[in-house]
Amino acid sequence: MRASRMNLVTLREDPSEAEIASHRLLLRGGFLHKSGAGLYLYAPLLKRVIDKASRIVADEISRTGGLEVTMPIMQEQALWEKSGRWATYQASRTMLTVRDRGGQVFGLAPTAEEVVTDYAATVVKSYKQLPVTFFQQHTKFRDEIRPRFGLMRVKEFIMMDAYSFHDADTSLDQTYDAMRVAYLRTFKRLGLEAFAVEADSGAIGGNGSHEFMVAADVGEDTILFDPISAYAANRERAVGRISLASRWNSAPQGIQVIATPNVSSIADVADFLKQNGFPDLDATNALKCVLFIAQVKPKSGYEFDPARGVTFANATMKKFDEIAIAAFIRGDRDVNEVKVRNAVTRTKGVEVLELRPMLPDEIRQATNAEPGFAGPGSSLKVSIALIDEQIEKNVPLVVGANKTDHHIAGFVLSRDVVAPLLYVDLMTVRAGDTEMKTGNPLQERRGIEVGHIFKLGTKYSAAMKAEFTGQDQKLHPFIMGCYGIGTSRVVAAAVEQHNDQDGIRWPMAIAPYHCVIVPVGKPGDTAVEGAAQSIYDALLAAGIEAVLDDRDQKPGVKFKDWDLIGIPLRIVCGRGVAEGLVELKPRDGAAENIPLASAAEVVIGRVRAALSASQAAADAVR
Ligand code: ATP
Ligand code: MG
């Protein structure tokens, strides 16, 4: 490719809207054009990178036996009603819906379980056809609340989504593991350091979900890990043991209601009581109460009855589909909302569609008090009260009194609770908590989620009556797995991992071009131009993706552009040509002079070596 025909447009200054390296550099290098909020045009350079990444992803998924398909982006509401997910996606407002001229409503694919399950039900009739995996690489749409960070979190993006169908759990386990390996191979080939962590798997629990993370300070996910035992989990899912609460020796023997005027936060309450008769009290002796409203829908086959199950005696329901939840945790800790959500779904005959903190008015209704004074006393009006299982039951605590400006000191859970509290894990684990099995302290780091694998079981197939005939001649719902890689996010993550102050440093396998040849001679210097042209021709003939920078620009400008754009190898033809030498400068290494006569050969060797090194890294994955 001749650079003069590439419509190269680079920016010297950092665009003000770009907060992270990948966003900044992709904009500056002319890879991206913002077309709307969370909507990007992939410019020619980026299109090449995305296509290469897509091919590697597709190649590795095919290698597991996956069959590539293309599914429609517009998906009928009726199909999503069958799985029961229409309501979920409406509640979270993640799915954009459109209406056709006949008034029929469609969702724009945020994912494709319904479509593929419907397909499998039609084309897979017998256990003899199982297992089978269908995958695609196609545009997904999600109405993200906060699109940001360029390609990282957008409304429209490219995802590889694969779905596997099985007649037995053991078969699902095999494919799940094959996918895990395929993912690790994919990331190696893409030049990315990625690792698997345990992820939230919804209300069912179990070990059926892993996310693949690229470590990066700008990542939106927090990972808790133990380097010794290799335990690693997303914070949404992580479990860990917290340190013991401190002993509160000055606590009253029985319950004591104490006026705590205008102190509502745990820290303030602890400080106030410390100065008013309880010198050795701290936040670990307090019980924090977080109040939520869960938007729910009854699970199929369950008669929804708000007065049934684990319910406070005077439970109230604002509406049929909204229930009040209290979550108690030790005063110095935070509630994990994903765990709350899963616990509620497990507890009642309902599925939580959305969980949100109560508004002040709702808190007043639930507690008969201003916000900040909620406690586990019987006057709390919620449908479900959850409490973290690590809280000690036989020690005195400070709790809210459900009365404005009042707390109760000396509250002992095992003695003083009258309404049912459900003990579950609600802990937001943090660095310093210890790993459950080994007792090693957990560490924390940030990560970018680039992929996800998930054992779905029969969730979709049972709901959608997608069945096959088993060896026993009976009908069974498919056992399913689903697998996603955010191909476009992967490209942004690669830039996060490979950049320096001058720009991007693409790994060879996904670089838009392998190399660039820059002639730097006086205009009309035929020796230099001829040398550049001959190397260029030889590289093209060998199938190397080369650019010849024939632009009428100063060498310094050209070098800056290619450093920013991130081409792995640069060949400069200048004064040395007279002595039969050219300069070879890897983007991530030092310049060296090489003979003009063998320059093309050397570059071909370097490109092929880099490509086979990433392939070898993939082959080493177990
Ligand atoms: P996140 O927690 O980041 O929103 P998710 O859990 O919604 O991700 P999945 O539904 O598992 O993501 O989708 C599979 C993959 O698609 C993710 O691992 C990620 O790489 C990619 N992805 C998801 N949402 C976006 C987005 N808004 N923009 C770009 N890529 C995305
Ligand atoms: Mg998401």
Distances (CA, A) of 594 to 21, 455, 571, 603: 33, 54, 10, 10
User: For ligand 1, is residue 142 a contact (CB within 6 Å)?
Assistant: yes
Q: Report the pLDDT value the prediction gives residue 92, as an integer from 0 to 100.
A: 87
Tell which residue, 504, 524, 532, has the closest CA to residue 600: 532
Ligand with the closest atom to the CA of 143? 1
Q: Hey, whose CA ends up nearest to atom 23 of ligand 1?
A: 486
Ligand 1 atom showing the smallest separation from residue 110 Cα = 10
Ligand with the closest atom to the CA of 220? 1
Q: Is pLDDT of 403 > 60?
A: yes
For residues 43 and 6, give the distance between their C-alpha atoms in angstroms, rounded to a whole number: 11
User: For ligand 1, is residue 23 a contact (CB within 6 Å)?
Assistant: no
Structure tokens at 162: 């694969």
Terminal alpha carbon distance of the chain: 39
Q: Hey, whose CA ends up nearest to atom 31 of ligand 1?
A: 486
Beta strand 105-108 pairing with 97-99: antiparallel
Q: Report the pLDDT value the prediction gives residue 31, as an integer from 0 to 100.
A: 98
User: For ligand 1, is residue 450 a contact (CB within 6 Å)?
Assistant: yes
For residues 409 and 397, give the distance between their C-alpha atoms in angstroms, rounded to a whole number: 6
User: For ligand 1, is residue 449 a contact (CB within 6 Å)?
Assistant: yes
For residues 399 and 290, give the distance between their C-alpha atoms in angstroms, rounded to a whole number: 12
Beta strand 322-330 pairing with 287-298: antiparallel
Amino acid at 512: P
Tell which residue, 554, 551, 546, 588, has the closest CA to residue 571: 546
In what helix (H) or strand (E) does residue 188 lie, and over which residues does it extend? helix 169-189
Mean pLDDT of the chain: 93
Residue among 218, 489, 491, 496 to mutate when testing ligand 1 (max atoms within 8 A of CB): 489
For residues 450 and 488, give the distance between their C-alpha atoms in angstroms, rounded to a whole number: 9
> How far, in Å, is the centroid of ligand 2 from the Cα of 110?
9
Residue among 26, 154, 192, 452 to mutate when testing ligand 1 (max atoms within 8 A of CB): 452
Ligand with the closest atom to the CA of 154? 1
Ligand 1 atom showing the smallest separation from residue 449 Cα = 18
User: For ligand 1, is residue 451 a contact (CB within 6 Å)?
Assistant: yes
Distances (CA, A) of 185 to 47, 607, 611, 614: 22, 20, 14, 9
> How far, in Å, is the centroid of ligand 2 from the Cα of 481?
18
Instruction: Please report which confidence band the pLDDT of residue 80 belongs to, taking 50, 70 and 90 as the band edges.
Output: very high
Tell me the pLDDT tens digit for each residue of 236-286.
999 999 999 999 999 999 999 999 998 889 999 999 999 999 999 999 999
Ligand 1 atom showing the smallest separation from residue 490 Cα = 20
Q: Is pLDDT of 313 > 50?
A: no
For residues 262 and 525, give the distance between their C-alpha atoms in angstroms, rounded to a whole number: 83
Q: Is pLDDT of 437 > 50?
A: yes
Q: Is pLDDT of 531 > 90?
A: yes
Buried b (16+ CB within 10 A) or exposed e, 413-434: beebbebebbebebbbbbeebb
Q: Hey, whose CA ends up nearest to atom 8 of ligand 1?
A: 449
Buried b (16+ CB within 10 A) or exposed e, 284-316: bbbbbbbbbbbbbbeeeeeebeeeeebbbeebe
> How far, in Å, is the centroid of ligand 1 from the Cα of 9?
30
User: For ligand 1, is residue 60 a contact (CB within 6 Å)?
Assistant: no
Ligand with the closest atom to the CA of 111? 1
User: For ligand 1, is residue 154 a contact (CB within 6 Å)?
Assistant: yes
Q: Is pLDDT of 12 > 70?
A: yes
Q: Hey, whose CA ends up nearest to atom 13 of ligand 1?
A: 484
* Burial class, 573, CB count within 10 angstroms (exposed 0-12 / middle 13-18 / buried 19+): buried
> How far, in Å, is the centroid of ligand 2 from the Cα of 143?
9
Question: What is the pTM (predicted TM-score) of this model?
Answer: 0.92
Alpha-helical segments (H) within 443-565? 459-463, 487-497, 526-541, 555-565
Q: What's the rounded mean pLDDT across residues 85-98? A: 91
Beta strand 384-388 pairing with 422-424: parallel
Tell me the pLDDT tens digit for each residue of 546-558.
999 999 999 999 9
CA dihedral 256, 257, 258, 261 (to 10 degrees): 170
Ligand with the closest atom to the CA of 489? 1
Instruction: Please report which confidence band the pLDDT of residue 309 belongs to, taking 50, 70 and 90 as the band edges.
Output: very low
| 18 alpha-carbon distance from chain centroid | 20
Q: Hey, whose CA ends up nearest to atom 29 of ligand 1?
A: 153
> How far, in Å, is the centroid of ligand 2 from the Cα of 144?
7
Ligand 1 atom showing the smallest separation from residue 159 Cα = 16
Ligand 1 atom showing the smallest separation from residue 211 Cα = 18
User: For ligand 1, is residue 140 a contact (CB within 6 Å)?
Assistant: no
Residue among 180, 222, 449 to mutate when testing ligand 1 (max atoms within 8 A of CB): 449
Instruction: Please report which confidence band the pLDDT of residue 320 belongs to, taking 50, 70 and 90 as the band edges.
Output: low
Tell which residue, 552, 560, 565, has the closest CA to residue 521: 552
Q: Report the pLDDT value the prediction gives residue 552, as an integer from 0 to 100.
A: 93
CA dihedral 301, 324, 283, 261 (to 10 degrees): -170
For residues 571 and 582, give the distance between their C-alpha atoms in angstroms, rounded to a whole number: 7
Identify the weakest region by mean pLDDT among 156-160, 289-293, 375-379.
Answer: 375-379
User: For ligand 1, is residue 159 a contact (CB within 6 Å)?
Assistant: yes
What share of the chain in percent tops pLDDT 90? 89
Tell me the pLDDT tens digit for each residue of 99-154.
999 999 999 999 999 999 999 999 999 999 999 999 999 999 999 999 999 999 99
> How far, in Å, is the centroid of ligand 1 from the Cα of 157?
9
Distances (CA, A) of 303 to 34, 300, 306, 396: 49, 8, 10, 39
Q: Report the pLDDT value the prediction gives residue 434, as an integer from 0 to 100.
A: 97
Judge whether 180 and 51 are in contact, CB under 8 Å: no
Ligand with the closest atom to the CA of 144? 1
Q: Hey, whose CA ends up nearest to atom 28 of ligand 1?
A: 153
Q: Report the pLDDT value the prediction gives residue 300, as an integer from 0 to 100.
A: 54
Q: Report the pLDDT value the prediction gives residue 316, as an integer from 0 to 100.
A: 40
Tell me the pLDDT tens digit for each residue of 32-75.
999 999 999 999 999 999 999 999 999 999 999 999 999 999 99
> How far, in Å, is the centroid of ligand 1 from the Cα of 118?
23
Instruction: Please report which confidence band the pLDDT of residue 307 belongs to, taking 50, 70 and 90 as the band edges.
Output: very low
User: For ligand 1, is residue 153 a contact (CB within 6 Å)?
Assistant: yes
Instruction: Please report which confidence band the pLDDT of residue 299 belongs to, taking 50, 70 and 90 as the band edges.
Output: low
**Where do the DSSP E strands lie in 425-487?**
443-457, 467-469, 475-477, 479-485
Ligand 1 atom showing the smallest separation from residue 147 Cα = 27
What share of the chain in percent tops pLDDT 70? 95
Which residues on neighbouring strands pair with residue 286, listed in sequence order? 398
Q: What's the rounded mean pLDDT across residues 590-619? A: 97
More confident residue, 475 or 346: 475
User: For ligand 1, is residue 143 a contact (CB within 6 Å)?
Assistant: no
Ligand with the closest atom to the CA of 157? 1
Instruction: Please report which confidence band the pLDDT of residue 198 belongs to, taking 50, 70 and 90 as the band edges.
Output: very high
Q: Is pLDDT of 303 > 80?
A: no
Identify the weakest region by mean pLDDT among 47-61, 335-349, 530-544.
Answer: 335-349
Q: Hey, whose CA ends up nearest to atom 26 of ligand 1?
A: 153
Q: Report the pLDDT value the prediction gives residue 205, as an integer from 0 to 100.
A: 67
Helices first, then strands: H and E counts in the chain: 15, 31
**Where do the DSSP E strands lie in 92-208?**
97-99, 105-108, 132-141, 156-166, 194-198
Q: Report the pLDDT value the prediction gives residue 264, as an integer from 0 to 100.
A: 83
How many C-beta neighbours within 10 Å does residue 361 have?
9
Q: Is pLDDT of 535 > 60?
A: yes
For residues 352 and 323, give the distance between their C-alpha atoms in angstroms, rounded to a whole number: 10
